[in-house]
Amino acid sequence: MRNILFAASECVPFLKTGGLADVVGTLPKMFDKNEFDVRVIMPSYTCIPEKFRNEFRYITHFYMDMGTLNFRPHVGIMEYEYDGITFYFVDNEDYFKNAEPYGDTLYDIEKFIFFSKAVLAIMPVIDFRPDIIHCHDWQAGMIPVFLKTIYKDNPFYFGTKTIMTIHNLKFQGIWDVKTFKAFTGLPEYIFTPDKLEFKKDSNMLKGGLVYADYITTVSETYANEIQTPAYGEGLDGLLRAKHMQLRGILNGIDYDEYNPETDKEIFAQYSYKNAISKKSENKLKLQEELGLPQDKSKFMIGIISRLTDQKGIDLVNWVIERIADPYTQLVIIGTGEQRYENTFKYFQWKYPERISANIMFSNNRAHKLYAAADAMLVPSRFEPCGLTQLMALRYGTVPIVRETGGLKDTVQPYNKYENTGTGFSFKNYNAEEMLNIINYAKSVYFDEKKTWNEIVKRGMQTDFSWRSSAEQYAGMYRWLMG
């Protein structure tokens, strides 16, 4: 049996702020249980819903050194089994008594240094010796560092390898060296430019990348992009140096949760065989719920996104009145920067029959929009993988995306000469170019209905479940373990 430990700051169904949680919650279930024993460890936040917390089983607790700080924090170990996977929760209310999982940067850095060290301290206590510790994003970045320094002579970890997965390179866990030394207790030689030092400060993600045995990210295109200055966030040189230990493996989505044939959240269930008529039914019902004119001939574009520049919302803002013409309805679901929230509210007030601004996140309404919309707009500045376009394809909603990261790897642009493709895409980060491709999609929708319906069906028949990704991870685990 090969023992794999996933270490991460969030995980569905316990806590989710982004796609990281979907990966950590779904991927472990996809491995052959006769070959892999995959377990997950995360913080025991007090904001995890009570229905789960009340079921956690206390195992034990101990006290652990925390760098040169003059206290020994409590490390509690809680256990819970869910969907056949064993989850461990690191309990410490000084660090994890939070209404939200993330907050003040300095506090986050301290608590995730504690978390990283606690993960390694806990495994011998519960007698689970991982062959591989799979670390996700900067919050788990110190695990490879501690393993190769403080724990390097610990016989329990002889042969244990680490993988560092980058879900979004923009977030790295950076603070000054003096503070890092106090929190970690690591020696001076660790804080040099070839290790943790980063522009005179210290960088948790960089430490993980330097010390990990292998690095993955969540799409092949993103793996290439982050080796360039434009996308490398200051770490492109390191990633180029480690390119032989770097690969991209696409995320998937949970095909049980996102299944239009069985989805209880949507108005009318359907498969690719009857998608065209049933999507119209979903559209009419959603239009009614949102207070939009009920007209199935309208071209409905959805945006389900954080309202930030990274997600390309500035492009949408630039041309919104030309997107939402008299033949089009634009439905936005999401929260983010106040200026964008206010902009969408203003345009909903100005064009109530064309624009619906849902400044919230509602899982129910998101599912309804996937089922109702004709197209889903994802114009990201950068996108490591992206899940929105995968969910859209699953529901027969045609993605309109910018060619970056996972968007480029998962959406095949429509080619009218070969009659191929599952969506529409544009290359440059430019509002006019985006508007041109939206208008091209509209022309196909209105003037070439048969072609549009074929694009819908091709999209629904693509497979972006976790099965393929899990096979690639399993192969990597076997290779790393020799």
- Where do the CATH 3.40.50.2000 domains begin and end in the chain? 2-252+466-481, 275-460
Please say whether the structural domain 275-460 has been given the CATH code 1.10.3210.10: no
Q: pTM higher than 0.85 for the full model?
A: yes
Query: What pLDDT was estimated at residue 364?
Result: 95
- List, for residues 387-406, the tens digit of each pLDDT value: 999 999 999 999 999 999 99
Query: What pLDDT was estimated at residue 17?
Result: 85
Query: What pLDDT was estimated at residue 361?
Result: 85
Query: What pLDDT was estimated at residue 431?
Result: 98
Query: What pLDDT was estimated at residue 70?
Result: 87
CB 412 within 8 A of CB 246: no
- List, for residues 22-78, the tens digit of each pLDDT value: 899 999 999 999 999 999 999 999 999 999 999 999 999 999 999 998 889 999 999
Q: In angstroms, rounded to a whole number, what is the distance separating the alpha carbons of residues 36 and 442?
A: 47
Residue 370, both tokens: 């996937």
Query: What pLDDT was estimated at residue 315?
Result: 98
Please say whether the structural domain 2-252+466-481 has been given the CATH code 3.40.50.2000: yes
Query: What pLDDT was estimated at residue 343?
Result: 96
**Which three-class secondary structure string do you get for 173-233?**
CEEEHHHHHHHHCCCHHHCCCCCCEECCEEEHHHHHHHHCCEEEECCHHHHHHCCCCCCCC
Low-confidence ranges of the chain (pLDDT < 70): none
**∠257-259-261 over CA atoms, to 5°?**
135
Query: What pLDDT was estimated at residue 254?
Result: 86
